Amino acid sequence: MSAEERKVTISVIKADIGSLAGHHKVHPDTMAAASRVLAEAKRKGLIIDYFVTHVGDDLQLIMTHRKGVDSPDIHGLAWDAFKKAAEVAKELGLYAAGQDLLSDAFSGNVRGLGPGVAEMEIVERKSEPIVIFMADKTEPGAFNFPMFRIFADPFNTAGLVIDPRMHDGFKFEVLDVMEGKYVVLNTPEEMYDLLALIGTPGRYVVKRVFRKSDNEIAAVVSVERLNLIAGRYVGKDDPVAIVRAQSGFPALGEILEPFSFPHLVAGWMRGSHWGPLMPVGLKDAKCTRFDGPPRIVGLGFNITKGRLIGPTDLFDDPAFDEARRTAQLIADYMRRHGPFMPHRLGPEEMEYTTLPQVLERLKDRFKEAKDYEKYIKPKIKHSEMLSGAEEMHD
């Protein structure tokens, strides 16, 4: 079989189309409705294989096909599946039915219409193991920390040191979601530049990772920001990611290891709080405590002639019990801050929540603070402050 014949595309497309008892869990009837649409597409040969699942209140469609990335046929299929599922959600009176479907008209691609998308086209190896990560109650930048550790941190990924196929490092494509620009940075030589960007996960997001030696794609993350698309708060983005494993890529254990530390991510209740990212199995992929804490599921597959072999539920393992316990402790600590920062997001992120609607009601009640002029106005010019700071550094 030629390389062209071995090409296969993996598409993971998700949307919140309505959930049971609040922003909690996808109803099985909506999953069944989506499955029927994909089953018919497989029968007709449009897709090779599929798997329908959920994480929290997000319906997840995992598909393999030979149509390439951004195929109108595949995106149209996903749109149809979500629309059918949303119809069932409305019939059942589920909460926020059709929430992520921001338009009634499909225009050839679901990007910009609400759903999140992670896709990669690959030439299938003799054995092609992949991991599909799906998160709920957080944003795409939640993957910045684990992607860095998987592909750039030798303390996490031993293969960066001892595997000659990985020793040259990886390239990170980083998207500025505010400006719509991207930059490609090489590791290890530009590691500090990379960290300077992705340490601000609300703005700079790791979109794709490539093996530097041959430019082979290694990982892809959905980077859709719903609030920026809709111009209003419509829920957090709940990203998905695809990561290739083994044989010149990080080993499965190296890919999972970063999630043993439940790092803080933006999202949680009303998309307005920092909370720990808890790794869970599918049976625990429901968000209850303060609509959370944020959850992540990892499913392992092998791709064989385009077929999805699996999945294995990777975080349904006592090896991650301590991570879950730590996440509970972090959740306790953060919750005790109530409406105060740092539990609540900073002002730049709160602009994209429902808080501006509250502030709008108060704007006419603010008065000029003349009596406090001597306290709130700076005594020296900003330029003089900078000059003084330079002198201190000298």
Catalytic residues: 16, 233, 236
Using DSSP bridges, classify how beta strands 278-279 and 295-304 pair: parallel, antiparallel or unpaired. parallel
230 is written with which tokens?
């809709």
CB atoms within 10 A of CB 35: 19
Rg (CA), the chain: 22
Phi, psi of 364, rounded to the nearest 5 degrees: -80, -5
Q: Which residue type does 31 have?
A: M
Distant-in-sequence, close-in-space partners of 322: CB < 8 Å, separation ≥ 6? 260
3-state secondary structure of 257: helix
d(CA 280, CA 278): 6
Q: What DSSP assignment string belongs to 1-41? A: --TTTTEEEEEEEEE---BBTTTTB--HHHHHHHHHHHHHH
**Beta-ladder partners of 135:** 296
The end-to-end CA distance of the chain, in Å, is 65
* Angle at CA of residue 226, ends 150 and 17, nearest 5°: 100
d(CA 182, CA 171): 13
d(CA 394, CA 388): 10
174 is written with which tokens?
């980083």
Whether residue 250 contacts residue 151, with contact meaning beta carbons closer than 8 Å, is answered with yes
Whose tokens are 């019939």? That residue is 91
